[in-house]
């Protein structure tokens, strides 16, 4: 298919590279930022533009891989009236295109992309949605050329997926940050936590997180919990967080054990 990329950030880069490698033709890259626009265009060996009026009209699919606010801004322009217009955002409904486009949808890859770290798209789940069956068929085909895990999912459930991703990725990363602060304050390198972080992430592939749960809260070990809370008392927000998650774990296993 002939594609035009609107956006040149991490997601736009990884997605367009994967699509091009799978045989699709990227016609053009558009982004208001010249530096990132030209970098991506160079990587794909295609032209770029920073002028929205110069976006070509002959693509099959326009991919809006931009911030949530920028989607509704770009939708107002009228390139590609017969084409399919899709965004890639977890928490923006498909209806952002409704007033201005005939054919539209969403292609949401569930992964956290960093610019310099290649990812294997084959294993990345992609959630698609279209405003009619023909669009959904095209998006399903498009997504399946790069990923083995493609699901049709409506906007409300996609929002739920995004929330789940925030918990298991953004919030988990923040807990890693807290761990780093604590071990550094004990004059140890963050690397001492790497094996534990790795094992915790691996374990849930063979054991449900419910069964994998360990620690003082799971054991209702109030003596250890009290020692930890006492140690955290100089950091009220960490103390509150410790107290809250501990309570959630205790409630869960109290009611179900």
CB of 32 to a second copy, least distance (A): 17
Q: Are strands 150-152 and 2-6 parallel, antiparallel or unpaired?
A: unpaired
Q: How many CB atoms lie within 10 A of CB 192?
A: 11
Stretch that binds a second copy, among 27-35, 36-44, 78-86, 114-122 (CB under 8 A): 114-122
Residue from 185, 254, 255, 257 that binds a second copy (CB under 8 A)? Answer: 185
Please give the Cα distance from 205 to 165 (Å, whole number): 16
Query: Is 112 one of the binding residues for a second copy (CB under 8 A)?
Result: yes
Q: Which of residues 58-97 bind a second copy (CB under 8 A)?
A: 67-69, 91
Check residue 163 for interaction with a second copy (CB under 8 A): yes
Residue 170 DSSP class: I
- CB of 14 vs a second copy, minimal distance in Å: 12
165 interacts with a second copy by CB under 8 A: yes
Residues touching a second copy: how many (CB under 8 A)? 90
Question: At its nearest, how many Å lie between a second copy and the CB of residue 51?
Answer: 26
Strands (E), the chain: 2-6, 25-30, 48-49, 61-64, 84-87, 103-109, 126-130, 150-152
> Binding to a second copy by residue 159, rule CB under 8 A?
yes
- Three-state DSSP at 100 gives coil
Residue 102 in contact with a second copy, rule: CB under 8 A: no
Residue 222's region, left for phi above 0, alpha for psi from -120 to 50, else beta, is: alpha
- In the complex with a second copy, the residue whose CB is nearer, 35 or 192, is 192
By CB under 8 A, is residue 208 in contact with a second copy? yes
Residue from 185, 125, 188 nearest 157 by CA? 125
């Amino acid at each position: 298919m002939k594609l035009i990329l609107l956006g040149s950030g991490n997601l736009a880069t990884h997605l367009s590279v994967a699509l091009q490698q799978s045989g699709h033709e990227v016609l053009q890259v558009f982004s208001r930022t010249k530096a990132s626009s030209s970098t991506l265009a160079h990587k794909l060996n295609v032209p770029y533009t920073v002028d929205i009026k110069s976006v070509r009209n002959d693509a099959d699919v326009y991919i809006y891989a931009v911030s949530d606010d920028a989607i509704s801004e770009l939708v107002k322009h009228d390139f590609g009236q017969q084409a399919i217009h899709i965004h890639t955002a977890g928490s923006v409904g498909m209806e952002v295109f409704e007033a201005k486009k005939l054919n539209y949808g969403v292609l949401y890859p569930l992964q956290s992309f960093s610019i310099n770290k290649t990812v294997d798209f084959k294993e990345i789940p992609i959630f698609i949605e279209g405003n009619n069956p023909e669009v959904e068929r095209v998006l399903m085909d498009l997504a399946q050329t790069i990923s083995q895990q493609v699901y049709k999912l409506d906007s409300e459930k996609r929002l739920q997926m995004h929330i789940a991703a925030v918990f298991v990725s953004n919030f988990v990363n923040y807990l890693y940050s807290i761990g780093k602060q604590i071990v550094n304050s004990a004059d140890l390198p963050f690397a001492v936590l790497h094996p534990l972080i790795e094992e915790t992430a691996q374990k849930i592939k063979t054991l449900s997180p419910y069964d994998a749960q360990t620690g003082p809260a799971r054991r209702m070990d109030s003596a250890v919990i009290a020692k930890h809370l006492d140690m955290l008392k100089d950091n009220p927000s960490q103390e509150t967080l410790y107290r809250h998650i501990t309570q959630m774990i205790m409630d869960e296993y109290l009611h179900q054990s």
